[in-house]
Chain A
Amino acid sequence: MDNDVKEYKQHLLRAIQLFSGSVSLMEVCGTHTMAIAKSGIRGLLPPNIKLLSGPGCPVCVTSQGDIDAVIVMVQHKDIILITFGDMMRVPGTHSSLQEERSRGADIRIAYSPLDALRVARDNPDKEVVFLGIGFETTTPTIAITIEQARREGLNNFSVFSLHKVVPPALELIFSDSEIKVDGLLCPGHVSAVIGVKTFGSLARKYHKPCVVTGFETLDILEGIYMLLQQLKKEEARVENQYSRVVKPEGNPIACQSMERVFQPVPARWRGLGMIPASGLQLREEFSDMDARKRFDIPEIEEIPIKGCACGEVLAGKITPLECVLFGQACTPLNPVGPCMVSHEGSCAAYYRYIPTKGRS
């Protein structure tokens, strides 16, 4: 059995290597980026097949201004902030959550938003804020958490929402003439929630093939192979490689919970700028649990980091290796931009897994 799988992978790899045209494919999801780097797929592709990393790491696409706003909140308000671990080290303009914690801010790492509710219950005299971040994959769990807090009548719990949705960013990438993307490996987990229809519309509108792809090495090889087959036949439709998890209609229950709690608003993405209807804000009826409003946190002007090319990397305009800071001034230990911090950031993936410049 194991040997069959191994052989099939090698077979797929050879078929991919035989493709003759010159194409750029984009993997949208950060988990894909990491899996591709870890398995070494990129290095095994011939030079005529380029894999670009897209804006699919929620930490990386969070704008500098939003991170600064969260830091202002923990500096000035007496709160317990609950966050996923990845956010701790992301540098704001002057500080990071990790630094704020060492100065005494009460910042705790959680594995599930429901942990935040437990903290809120255990500390009724403290304000507990959950830092909500992630795409359609994580947002439903936050929505359910907010509804649960409402049902319990927890009045010391709120959410600072940095949630975003993926399709508007892909639309922007497809319509940008500077970015050459011939096909998309669509995010498997996001598709498990929103289904495949949205990607079908994108494929037709921009005439680019899309394949919803899983995260095992075998999935990714199949996804690439399926994209190449479509390109060869000059087709542009959505295919579902990850059908063992992704149903065509997605997960309606998860979508409904998201819609009950959140509404789309324009949001600023690092590197891509303001994108209409790409952010998620708590609806009016939950606005008392919107930490931005509850603590009156102002919008903070974005101050670009000098030399940092995370924006171009996220848009697929350059690879991390083309950034002048990569591996020199910017390393996982001393990250300048978020793509080097996040586990799933393209720069971190390149740095960790590819023997190249900046190493001695």
Chain B
Amino acid sequence: MTQERILLAHGSGGLMSQRLIDEVFKQAWRNEIMEAMLDGAILQVPAGRLAMSTDSFVITPLFFPGGDIGKLSICGTVNDLLACGATPLYLSTAFIIEEGLPLADLRVIAASMAQTAREVGVKLVTGDTKVVEKGSADGVFINTTGIGIIPADIDYRPQRIQPQDQVIVTGCVGDHGLAILARREGLAFSTPVVSDCAALIQLREIISQYGNAIRCMRDPTRGGLATVLNEIAVQAGVGIHVKEADIPVAPAVQGACDLLGMDPLYMANEGKMVIFVAAALAQSLLNDLRRLPQTQAASIIGQISAETPGMVLIETELGAQRILGILEGEHVPRIC
């Protein structure tokens, strides 16, 4: 039996495009706003400030342990909105599909997006599909853009971070980066590593209780935890001092990274948040986070210092202090 595949004609704008949209996307994403089939989505939004975020997903492989590009494209943008302090409401999506992609794969991806969106409580309200010639893309690229509403009393900004504030990471770091690398390169480890790909929607209920005691949050995706800490240190003009022993890393991830000469602190995460919180409430927030399945491995990893502004320092297990720098170029395994 020949497998049905995406053809250039599916992107022509004609009958085949329409059928693709009807049978694959509309079927999966069913909601009244999309079904109006206007040139754009018309949205009812509450008064107040909106957060808006966009991200493009170009991952290889499209399907990986713990998720797929569809789930990732929802989680990524939802987590970015959450990091802004917003409740995510609506998403748009745009697909760039490579000619030859099995239609079945596209169906799985669309269904995975629909399911994730449903779980999170956001609506996919408008979309676009383009098909490019074989070789001009890698399977499928997905862009999602989301908007969410920010409660009136919430103001997350790095500039609000103060000395003594505590830094919390909501779970083990490096899982996604290693899971993708392992799948892409056919590396097999005795303990399989699964991506942490998840929308951190459960976090909303907890953090909403802490108001502006939470100064700022950041989603440590590309470049990993180390990169996010460096960005914040510069933007906030503060020093960040963390302890190696307090940063949660799964033993399988640490072992594989040691073997490859890579550092989990620089590997991507897709379901973690770094939270900067007032010292007085840090322990209480940590206790609350640990009660949730998504964030039960949360840990206070360090604190803010007025010294060494713009720098991140890490205390090693031996008690030495060194720079935790920003990632330069590609993160590649070592030779020997």
Contact = CB atoms under 8 A, between A and B. Distances in A.
Contacts of A256: none
B187 A41 contact: no
Contact of A138 (B313, B317, B335): B335
B334 A343 contact: yes
Interface string B50-84: 00000000000000000000000000000000000
Given A85-B330, A85-B332, A217 B313 contact: no
Contacts of A41: 318, 320
A190 B336 CA distance: 9
Contact of B261 (A217, A344, A351): A344
Contacts of B320: 39-41, 43-44
Nearest to A115: B185
Contacts of B136: none
Interface residues of B, number: 24
The dominant DSSP class at the B interface is: loop
Contacts of B121: none
Given A352-B325, A354-B323, A134 B318 contact: no
B49 interface: no
Interface in B187-229: 187
A111 B318 contact: no
A88 interface: yes
Given A111-B185, A355-B313, A88 B319 contact: no
Contacts of B336: 29-31, 58, 134-135, 137-138, 189-190, 344
Given A343-B261, A352-B325, A355-B311, A44 B319 contact: yes
A86 B335 contact: yes
Contact of A58 (B187, B313, B319, B335): B335
Contacts of B185: 111, 115
A89 interface: yes
A50 B141 CA distance: 52
A34 B257 CA distance: 14
B27 interface: no
B334 A38 contact: no
Contact of A133 (B319, B321, B330, B335): B335
A109 B321 CA distance: 34
B329 A332 contact: yes
Given A31-B261, A39-B318, A41-B318, A88 B323 contact: no
Given A352-B323, A354-B323, A40 B318 contact: yes
Contacts of A43: 320-322
A72 interface: no
Contacts of B260: 111
B334 A31 contact: yes
A37 interface: yes
Given A352-B325, A354-B323, A86 B332 contact: yes
A110 B304 CA distance: 40
Interface of A: 6, 9-10, 13, 29-31, 34, 37-41, 43-44, 58-59, 84-86, 88-89, 109, 111, 115, 133-135, 137-138, 189-190, 217, 331-333, 343-344, 351-355, 359
Given A43-B320, A137-B336, A352-B323, 13 more contacts: A13-B318, A29-B336, A39-B318, A43-B322, A59-B335, A84-B332, A84-B333, A84-B335, A109-B332, A111-B260, A135-B336, A331-B328, A355-B308
Interface of B: 185, 187, 260-261, 308, 311, 313, 316-323, 325, 328-330, 332-336
Q: Which 3 A-B pairs have the closest CB atoms?
A: A40-B320, A85-B332, A332-B328
27 contacts: A10-B318, A37-B322, A39-B316, A39-B320, A40-B320, A43-B321, A43-B322, A84-B335, A85-B330, A85-B332, A86-B334, A86-B335, A190-B336, A217-B316, A217-B318, A332-B328, A332-B329, A343-B261, A343-B334, A344-B334, A344-B336, A353-B325, A355-B308, A355-B311, A355-B313, A355-B322, A359-B311
